[in-house]
Every structure is written in C-alpha cells, then in structure tokens.
Amino acid sequence: MDAARATSELEGSRFARFRWVDETGSTNADLLEEARAGAPEQVLGAEHQTAGRGRLGRSWTAPPGTSLLCSILVRPGAGVDPHLVTTALGLAAADAIEEVTGQRIGIKWPNDLVAGTSAAPDDRKLAGVLAEANVVGGVVDAVVVGIGINVNWPEVLPEELAGSATSLRHLVGREVDRTALVVAMLRRLESHLADPSGVRDAVLWRSATVGRSVRIERAGGDLVGTATGLTADGRLLVEAGGTTHEIAVGDVIHLRPTD
C-alpha cells in the first residue's frame, strides 16, 4: 500500500486523514477507542491484522500484504441513519472494484461481497463489512465500519477456502493496485454518504441475494423463502408461505434448487 500516494490523492476529501500501519490487532478496535476520545473522521488500514473480526465474533485472517484491510471512522451527523454507513461502504467497495478492475461483483445481504450477482450466481466470498457504533447518551456519536477485501491472494488458495472464497487476482487474472482501490472506494463512500438517495437502487442492481431462494438463520428460528427486495432502510424482504417478512438481522444462506 502506498499510503503517501493515497493521502495525496484524497486531499480535500472527507476522508483525507489516512493512516496505514504494518500490523495491528484490529483496525476497528483501534478506531473505536479513538472515536470514544473524540477523534475526527479518518481512515486506518493495516497490512496485517492479528485479531480481525467478522460478524457474530467470527475470526478473520488473511496473508499479510495481500488484502485491503481498513476501517473508517464516520460521524453520521443529525438525520443520517447509521445503518446507511455499512450499506454505503459495501456499495462503495463494489463500485471501486468495478472501476479499478472492470469486474462486476455482487452484494450478499447484509454485508458481504461475492464474486457473482443474482443474475450470474457465484457465492465465493470476496469481502466482508463490519460496523460498530459508539453511543453517547442514547445517540450514535460515531460509526466505525471496517472492510476486508481479498485482493492479491496467492495463486493457490488453501484447500479449505478454495470453494468458498476467492480474490480479485483470481477473478481478473492479474495483481490489483490496492492503493487505487482504496482511493476509489473512499471517494465513492463520500459520494454515497453525501447523497444516499440512490443507494438502495444501486444495491438492488448489484444484489446477489434478491430473486434467489434463501434460508435466513436467526435467533427465533430459520426462515426459508424467496428474497424479493429491500426496504428503504435496507431490510431484506423474504416471501415465505404467502407472507412477506422484513428481515433486519440474520445470516443468509443462498439455496440451490436441490437444497
């Protein structure tokens, strides 16, 4: 990662405060601590994370220097839905990948990027997004949203990942400029946060979930049906047994006709 180049290209941006370190435990944890101390909006990335996390406390690791691992501290401001930050970052990453590589990828609800869309399914995972909030007096004071994108992974993937994950290098057949990718992603994120009116439709266009048979794994019991759309605030609409359910939280499993 060329941090000096990224800083220069982001000059004047909302996310011009840009730092990159060789190693840390978790960029999300680091920025949450800074958010609680009143730090302004900024970006922190790392070549390697020793305690990276995904949803539901799952561990997350990647070979050093092969991924785009960063977190963004966002202070949403009055009237901005904090959940928009997570959606906007996933969309911004998908936009940036297409801009830099020409590869169209999908958004698997709620926060994963995968190699294909509903129109051309390929559920190998490319990236995950994790958001955490700092709440003061019952109000969201800051959101720290982290992303890990598999970029230039080794040519031969570990056997346990070969069927479930991939990297941009594997999809496009060449190494990808991580600096260009992060700059494009942050510019797109700034644009989506400034004007969120088109975010939902753009996510629908890139969706890898809407239109497919799904199983939603949730605390109150699994739900099997067809994903039919998204609400204005990003909830997944699932039709099952003649009833449309609005899903706010849950793990999505894409089902094949034989499942």
Whole-number Å distance between alpha carbons of 25 and 10: 25
Whole-number Å distance between alpha carbons of 164 and 115: 10
The packing angle between helices 178-194 and 82-101, to 10°, is 140
| Burial of 228 from C-beta contacts in 10 A (0-12 / 13-18 / 19+) | middle
pLDDT value at 158 more than 90: no
pLDDT value at 155 more than 50: yes
Q: What is the pLDDT of residue 11?
A: 96
Give the rounded percent of residues in the chain with a pLDDT score beyond 70.
Answer: 94
pLDDT digits (tens, 9 = 90+) for 219-229: 888 999 999 99
Q: What is the mean pLDDT of residues 104-126?
A: 94
Q: Is there a single domain that holds both residue 74 and residue 169? A: yes
Number of domains in the chain: 2
Q: Is there a single domain that holds both residue 183 and residue 109? A: yes
pLDDT digits (tens, 9 = 90+) for 16-73: 999 999 999 999 999 999 999 999 999 999 999 987 554 444 444 567 889 999 999 9
Q: Is there a single domain that holds both residue 187 and residue 231? A: no
Residue-range definition of the domain harbouring residue 219: 213-254
Q: Is there a single domain that holds both residue 69 and residue 93? A: yes
Q: What is the mean pLDDT of residues 112-117?
A: 95
pLDDT digits (tens, 9 = 90+) for 61-98: 567 889 999 999 999 876 678 888 999 999 999 999 99
Q: What is the mean pLDDT of residues 233-243?
A: 93
Q: Evaluate whether residue 259 is within a structural domain.
A: no
Q: What is the pLDDT of residue 78?
A: 60
Whole-number Å distance between alpha carbons of 223 and 214: 8
- Can you give the CATH number for the domain in which 250 is found? 2.30.30
Query: In the numeric block, which tokens belong to residue 180?
Result: 């260009």
Give the global pTM: 0.91
Round the average pLDDT of the chain to a whole number and report it: 91
- Grouping H, G, I as helix, E, B as strand and the rest as coil, residue 176 is coil
